[in-house]
Amino acid sequence: MKIRIIGAVAAGTSAATKARRNNEEADIVIYERDTDISYSGCGLPYFIGEEIESMEVLTPRDPSFFKNEHNVDVKIGHEVLSIDAKNKTLEVKNLESDEIFTDSYDKLVIATGASTFIPPIEGRQQDHVFGLRNPRDARAIKEYIDTHQPKKAVIVGTGFIGLELLENLVHLNIDTTLVELMPKITPNLDEDMAKLLESKLEEKGVKILKETSIQTIHKDHVTLQNGDELEADIVLIATGVRPNTQLAQEIGVEIGPTRAIKVNSRMETNIKDIYACGDVAETFNLITGKPHWRPLGSTANKMGRICGDVMTGGNLEFKGNLGTGIYRVFDISIGSSGLSEKEARELGYDIEIIHNSKEDRPTYMGGQRMVIKAIADKATHTLLGVQIVGYEGVDKRLDVLITLMTYRVPVEDFFHIDLGYAPPFSTTKDPVHYTGMIFSNILNKELPLINCADLADCKDRVTLIDTRSKQDVEKHGMINNAQHIPLAELREMCKHLDPDQHIVVYCNSGTTGNIAQNLLKNSGFKEVSNLSGGHSLYKVVTNGSHQ
């Protein structure tokens, strides 16, 4: 069996090594037009910022490794120019010698990955303008910084690559401004959580310009759409990637609605004996079953392994993914998985949303607050999506919630999971437990939450009660139109409230508000809501206006 693979990064090499494990006799060759293979693309920003000192750490394997360990031939500097699907042949060019030759295959894998999308900005071809996709890009950026010592940078785009670049440029003492076309930063977060992240970045002095784009790049500055200028000795474009589907399209391989190659759960395309995997291929969403494209190294490795197994007679199948992502900006951790609130509503789900603000471990052990936004399906009581902004411990909670979402565990049962506890690691009731408790209160005890945006729209039509202490109110202020009734006084003061009026209570983060909500419900009040995320989140979502 002759297996030929186009592309030698995560998916291509995973396909090759799995195929070899299944079949010792197969003739396996990978063609790669670049010189770096099987590299850790996600570590590239940290090489630029000198947290990772050597590129060799990110590119630990060369062609000799795959030959010696797996008897797989990796031909670097070889570009596949065309595919003849009818005759099962490839036209290949040796980029070093310019030799063009023909090879044949029994099974073909297209793992051509994705390329940086560079918007058509005037001046984008200059030598101080960069995208970041591979080690070659990272070396070029690092060399430019070392040689020219730029003082001012502009990053276009606020996805995870843009934000990771921000952190690393700041570590190099480069004054950096983020420019974002959309009205909110970071596409993986809903607006409320994006505003929370933005507020944390601004506290660190990060400059963010939204709803604008660069019109022209000059040698030492950029001109924005509105004519404003920003100093810039270096410009980094982080506006996403596009799948490299040209070779596939030329032979009639079907392209899916995400603009990536359409494959089934076995990584098979519509053409017999041709497979696709990695960033060039779309998958499907585990929750909705709809086509999904989220280019990540973790997903590419899974797809490659499945592809290599199927080609050699195995039965592995792709089970779907959730679009999980996590990244770090300075000391802030940001994670998300599943559907966003916006996506869930657009798909017609009847949803319940909570904002759970809790420490990752006791404050006496250095615990810091994280905010968990969780979205549940009212019909099935299962989790549809989660977003977390915090510090340490975000990864742990994200992974637990993803596991519960994957296996469709009812949200009420989150409370019953026997998670590990000791003060250096967690609180006695973990943030995951609290997430289940809050959902249980809403779904089973009729203790509704109201989100910040909805309260801002209706607060003139409700009785709004601030249940915090006098000290908290003096320190942090109140929402306009709120009455201040501390929890300790609420039992007595509630006699003077209208039990038929819709009452909204709030505290700093939601816990005291829940106590007040129970008190009022048990006292005969018909409609009582607690502000999701409390005053601290409301202040962020409304930009501190308290309107």
Q: What does the alpha-carbon distance between residue 308 and residue 17 come to, in Å, rounded to a whole number?
A: 7
Q: Which residues contact 520 (CB under 8 A, 6 or more apart)?
A: 490, 494, 497, 503, 505, 528
Q: How far is it between the farthest Cα atoms of the chain?
A: 90
Closest CA relative to residue 261, chosen from 123, 103, 83: 83
Q: In the beta sheet, which residues pair with residue 206? A: none
Asked if 381 and 363 count as a contact pair (C-beta separation under 8 A), the reply is: no
Amino acid identity of residue 25, one-letter, is: E
**pLDDT of res. 544:** 59
CA pair distance 300, 14, nearest whole angstrom: 8
Long-range contacts of 85-91 (CB under 8 A, 24+ apart): 85/251, 85/252, 85/271, 85/274, 88/273, 90/4, 90/6, 90/31
Place of tokens 């910040």: 452
- Quote the distance between the C-alpha of residue 470 and its chain's center: 39
Q: Which amino acid is at 522?
A: N
Q: How far apart are CA 449 and CA 514, in angstroms?
A: 9
The CATH architecture that domain 449-541 belongs to is 3-Layer(aba) Sandwich (3.40)
Q: What is residue 546's predicted lDDT score, i.e. its pLDDT?
A: 47
Q: What class, spelled out in words, does domain 129-239 have in CATH?
A: alpha beta
B/e letters for 164-197, b = 16+ CB within 10 Å, e = fewer, are bbbbbbbebebbbbbbbbeebbbbbbbbbbbbbb
Residue 459's pLDDT is 79
Selecting among 42, 277, 452, 494, the annotated active-site residue is: 42
Secondary element (H or E) of residue 342: helix 341-346
Q: What are phi and psi of 522, to 5 degrees?
A: -70, -10
479 in the Ramachandran plot: left (φ > 0), alpha (ψ -120 to 50) or beta? beta
Q: How do the domains of the chain map onto residue ranges?
A: 2-42+56-113+242-311, 129-239, 331-443, 449-541
Beta bridge pairs of residue 84: 89
d(CA 198, CA 182): 13
The fold for domain 331-443 equals FAD/NAD(P)-binding domain (3.50.50)
Q: Find tokens 């609605």 and name the residue.
A: 257
Give the tens place of pLDDT for each residue, 280-323: 999 999 999 999 999 999 999 999 999 999 999 999 999 999 99
Which pLDDT belongs to residue 543?
77
Our CA angle for 160, 544, 465, nearest 5°, is 120
Token pair belonging to 444: 């089973």
Residue 471: per-residue pLDDT: 94
Q: Is the dihedral of CA 207, 208, 209, 213 positive or negative?
A: positive
**458 is annotated as an active-site residue:** no
Q: How far apart are CA 353 and CA 358, in angstroms?
A: 16
**E strands of 85-148, at which residues?**
89-94, 100-104, 107-110, 114-116, 129-131
CB-CB neighbours of 398 under 10 Å: 25
Dist CA 79 CA 94 (whole Å)? 7
State which fold the 2-42+56-113+242-311 domain adopts.
Answer: FAD/NAD(P)-binding domain (3.50.50)
pLDDT of residue 40: 87
- Angle, helices 297-311/10-22, rounded to nearest 10 degrees: 30
**Residue ranges of the chain with per-residue pLDDT less than 70:** 544-547
**Beta strand 214-217 pairing with 207-210:** unpaired
Question: Would the CATH topology of 2-42+56-113+242-311 be identical to that of 331-443?
Answer: yes
List residues bridging with 130 in a β-sheet. 236
Read off the pTM.
0.94
Instruction: Answer yes or no: are the C-beta atoms of 424 and 367 closer than 8 Å.
Output: no
